[in-house]
Amino acid sequence: MIELVVGSRASQLARAQVKEFLAPLRARFPEVAFRHRVILEDGDLDRKSDLRAVSERGGGSAFAGRQAAALLDREVDVVVHSLKDLPTADPDGLLLLPSPPRADVRDALCGAPLAGLPTGARVGTSAARRIAQLLYVRPDLAPERIRGNVPTRLTRLRTLDAVVLAAAGLHRLGRDGEIAELLPLAQFPPSPGQGALGIQVRADDAMARELLAGTGDPVTDAEVRAERAMLAELHGGCSVPVGAHATTADGILTLHGQVTTPRGTRQIEARLSGTSAAPEKLGRAVAGLLLDQDAECLLRGQAH
């Protein structure tokens, strides 16, 4: 029997993502034994430190580096990531396959809707983008950085007025009932790739690539490629206040990009449409429009 070892982080959400990914594969390939292996990342092991510092120590994403190493060392055959956690460039020897259909891309406010939060309300989030976007819309709020997995962050509602989480994670964990409001995409475009799974394999592993060839969704693939190309052109990562949301209609891909200063004092946006056959070209074009509006200065925290 053929065996395929699937790696992921240890969280409940990571396990749910692996289960979601493998369900159709188990039915399609009964002759293949799919085995799940947990890999602890730097960001999981060092929860008290700053994520940016952890990433620098690990030479890449704080939530993907050890999994990439396990792939290269042939300890696993495929890794299922949250795509938004991955650097925009593949490590040498690794390849991202087209993503399966993605879940809800929106951010969710748990605890209370935005309009119901009083002045000075304490809102917990781990993302610089979410902090910046919240402060741009509600400068009276008091965002607080929180760490931990989804259940841990939800427990912070005992001491905070609200927390912001990805709706996709809440849906995948069956925690939909915790959502007070889904934040509008026009004001709160998500992190590039949010809601999508990142399926990573070794570039030279023909068997894994063949087995997983039919798992990707062309629409999702084009959308996330446009979003990630925009981020790459801005030289950003998962710790910068960049939002991107691509949609597809009748073969036309539309990308909305947004950059906000870390303290929410200024925000710029750009939107373009193009063919879904050239998503990276569209991503780079939207990034160019943002750079023409001083996106580089905004990303450095300079309002002007």
* CB distance 72 to 91 below 8 Å: yes
Domain with CATH 3.40.190.10 in the chain: 2-102+196-216, 107-182
Of the ranges 151-165, 176-190, 237-251, 276-290, which one carries the lowest mean pLDDT score?
Answer: 237-251
Beta bridge partners of 270: 257
Helices (H), the chain: 12-28, 42-45, 51-58, 65-72, 128-137, 150-155, 167-172, 206-211, 218-233, 279-292, 295-299
CA nearest 52: which of 288, 233, 203, 239? 239
Q: Which helix (H) or strand (E) holds 244?
A: strand 242-249
Average pLDDT over residues 205-214: 94
* CB distance 155 to 175 below 8 Å: no
Average pLDDT over residues 266-294: 96
At residue 144, φ and ψ (nearest 5 deg) are -130, 135
| Residue 24 pLDDT | 94
**C-alpha span between 100 and 84 (Å, rounded):** 14
pLDDT bracket for residue 298 (50, 70, 90): confident
Residue 52 CB coordination number (10 Å): 13
| Residue 44 pLDDT | 65
Q: List, for residues 110-158, the tens digit of each pLDDT value.
A: 999 999 999 999 999 989 999 999 999 999 999 999 999 999 999 999 9
Is the pLDDT at 51 greater than 60, yes or no?
no
Residue 119 CB coordination number (10 Å): 8
CATH code: domain 107-182 is 3.40.190.10
* pLDDT above 90 coverage of the chain, percent: 82
* pTM above threshold 0.85: yes
Domain with CATH 3.30.160.40 in the chain: 231-299
Length of the chain: 304
Residue 125 CB coordination number (10 Å): 22
Query: Which structure tokens are listed for 146?
Result: 């929180």
CA nearest 274: which of 242, 244, 249? 249
Comparing 303 with 111, which gets the higher pLDDT? 111
- 2-8 β-sheet, strand order: 32-38, 2-8, 78-82, 197-202, 94-97
| Residue 55 pLDDT | 38
Query: Which structure tokens are listed for 63?
Result: 């939530």
CATH code: domain 2-102+196-216 is 3.40.190.10
CATH code: domain 231-299 is 3.30.160.40
Q: What is the mean pLDDT of the chain?
A: 91
pLDDT bracket for residue 74 (50, 70, 90): very high
Which residue in 85, 104, 205, 221 is the catalytic one?
Answer: 85
| Residue 17 pLDDT | 97
Is the pLDDT at 271 greater than 80, yes or no?
yes
Is the pLDDT at 61 greater than 70, yes or no?
no
* pLDDT above 70 coverage of the chain, percent: 90
pLDDT bracket for residue 52 (50, 70, 90): very low
| Residue 238 pLDDT | 56
Q: 70 to each of 31, 43, 59, how far by Cα in Å? A: 24, 16, 15
Q: 115 to each of 16, 37, 119, how far by Cα in Å? A: 32, 43, 10
128-161 b/e (C-beta count within 10 Å ≥ 16 → b): bbbbbbbbbbbeebebbebbebbeebbebbeebb
**C-alpha span between 86 and 244 (Å, rounded):** 15
**C-alpha span between 288 and 169 (Å, rounded):** 31
- Whether residue 42 lies in the annotated active site: no
